[in-house]
Amino acid sequence: MTNLSINLNKVALIRNSRDTTIPSVVEAARTCIAAGANGITVHPRPDMRHIRATDVTDLAALLATPAFAEIEFNIEGNPFAGPQDNGFPGFMALVEQTMPAQCTLVPDNPVQLTSDHGWDLVGDNAPLAAVIDSLKELGIRVSLFMDPIDAQIKEAARLGAHRIEFYTGPYADAYGAHQAILARFVEAATFARGLGLGINAGHDLNQENLGEFCLAVATVDEVSIGHALITDALWSGLDPTVRRYKAILENPG
């Protein structure tokens, strides 16, 4: 079955709209886990517009306790984001400090509203290869955020990534007339698995499109969902919403 990792960025974004600690990112994680989430994801950015460095360390401390030993912590972001005057220590420094189970490397830049493309691995990948090697030496699973392009996926495998995470925005945007795009993901996933890569997926997956994607792209190891799930929770509550997403993954057909 596909694991559900919940991205808590939007919880932090709501909190940051006021000078407050409400809503608590840590308590949101507790609620998600109690409802059946298999993992927690955060995407800290250098401007700390939502997830802050302290959120990452607080969540790492929570998930390091024996009660949450089976819950995976996934930190995603640009590995080349350096330290900032606002207290952001740099992406890799934060990862090394908190030691997540998985690190998803994403080629975003500070001006992007959200991640909107995978890595372009044409050219000199020595800096990225060094990052991947460092993470692997720490015992951290490495996933690269990728588009469904075979040549790019082949390079991801050559660089030593354990998994790729498909950027599923195009599939979600086309949903309703999405069969050709879905077929490309199916083909790319088959190609990736043939190279020994695991498959994750994320971005704009929701209750409408999630089941079909996971049924077609079998087997997806993990989906990371934030925006849609937190939005649904505004109407239905966080616990029931997490349970609905879990039910979809348990029975995607």
Query: Which is catalytic among the residues 43, 50, 72, 165?
Result: 43
Decide if 32 contacts 238 (C-beta within 8 A): yes
In angstroms, the CA 76 to CA 144 distance is 9
Query: Which is catalytic among the residues 76, 155, 165, 222?
Result: 76
Buried b (16+ CB within 10 A) or exposed e, 92-124: bebbeebebbbbbbbbbeeeeeebeebbebeee
Query: Which is catalytic among the residues 50, 162, 165, 203?
Result: 203
Is 117 considered catalytic here? no
In angstroms, the CA 124 to CA 193 distance is 24
In angstroms, the CA 60 to CA 75 distance is 10
- Please, which residues bridge with residue 144 across strands? 105, 164
Distance in angstroms between the alpha carbons of the first and the last residue of the chain: 12
Q: What are phi and psi of 184, to 5 degrees?
A: -65, -40
Q: What are phi and psi of 198, to 5 degrees?
A: -80, 160
In angstroms, the CA 173 to CA 163 distance is 24
Tokens of 205: 């997956």
Is 203 considered catalytic here? yes
Is 43 considered catalytic here? yes
Residues with active-site annotation: 43, 76, 203
